[in-house]
Homo-oligomer: A and B are copies of this chain.
Amino acid sequence: MNDEVRLIEVRQDIHADNDRAAEELRRRLAAQGTFLLNFMSSPGAGKTTTILATCERLSEHFRVAVLEADIDSKVDAEKIAAAGIPAVQLRTGGFCHLDAAMVAKGLDALDLTGIDLVIIENVGNLVCPAEFDTGAIKNAMILSVPEGDDKPLKYPLMFSVCDVMLVGKIDYLGLADFDVERLRGYVRRLNPKIEIFEVSARTGAGMDAWVGWLTSEIAAYRRICLD
């Protein structure tokens, strides 16, 4: 098992460097009052659709930009840009997560003048993105109903590092053997402080409660930064 030992040592190194870069990024964004939200999930859980529906509801109050990340392709950034929202696509070229340096590079490519909120759509992966601080103020995740309610047992770190979880695609409830109360129990045992919202970006169900929470978080952050 020599491979494992060697990999862990390098990881610790990288994590210390990354933590410093994340802190620096948070200071840079606080100086201008820009809130950074990191969105994570499995592939196909509905991040892009949920981000679009969230931006639409936030546009009354805030100016929003989106940083898209994928191993390859730029289809998500194109979808966001088509809705009139400034977007940049980061191609990680094989990397399974974003780190703070990659996010900083992406932000350099966006014009942040007057931007109140940047949403990061991280690589679709319930494992690696949870290990890297991106410099975000809040970590959000989506667990979609078709994925099953047992995922906190299998990917505990992701559920532990998030400030808020969206239970997504709730229009699929009833089709799947998915028990929201069982899920809430698993998640709260890992992370008693997490906020949980049940949503469907497609039907709009639950979106107002989630966006209301986000709005008050952004407003509170901006009061602290800009006062």
Give Cα A222 to B150, complex, Å. 37
Nearest chain B CB to A201's CB is how many angstroms away? 13
A209 in the interface (beta carbon within 8 A) = no
A99 in the interface (beta carbon within 8 A) = yes
**Nearest B-chain residue to A9, judged by Cβ:** B10
Once the chains bind, are B10 and A75 in contact (CB under 8 Å)?
Answer: no
Interface residues on A, range: 35 or more
Residues of chain B lying within 8 A (CB to CB) of residue A148: 44
Q: Which of B72, B155, B157 lies in contact with A43, CB distance below 8 A?
A: B155
Once the chains bind, are A157 and B44 in contact (CB under 8 Å)?
Answer: no
A31 in the interface (beta carbon within 8 A) = no
Write the A134-152 contact mask toward B (1 if CB under 8 angstroms, else 0): 0000000000101110110
Interface residues in A14-46 by Cβ distance below 8 A to B read 14, 17-18, 42-45
Interface residues in A135-191 by Cβ distance below 8 A to B read 144, 146-148, 150-151, 153-157, 169, 172, 175
Q: With A44-B147, A101-B3, A172-B175 as known contacts, state yes or no: A153 contacts B14, CB within 8 Å.
A: no
Residues of chain B lying within 8 A (CB to CB) of residue A155: 43, 71-72, 124
Q: With A96-B96, A96-B127, A146-B144 as known contacts, state yes or no: A156 contacts B72, CB within 8 Å.
A: yes
Residues of chain B lying within 8 A (CB to CB) of residue A125: 96, 125-128
- Add 12 more A-B contacts to A71-B157, A125-B128 (CB < 8 A): A3-B101, A42-B42, A43-B147, A43-B155, A44-B146, A44-B151, A73-B153, A96-B128, A124-B126, A124-B154, A125-B125, A146-B169
Q: List 9 A-B contacts (CB under 8 A).
A: A6-B10, A42-B43, A44-B147, A44-B148, A75-B153, A75-B154, A96-B96, A96-B127, A144-B146
Residues of chain B lying within 8 A (CB to CB) of residue A84: none
Residues of chain B lying within 8 A (CB to CB) of residue A95: 4
Give Cα A99 to B99, complex, Å. 24
Once the chains bind, are A154 and B71 in contact (CB under 8 Å)?
Answer: yes
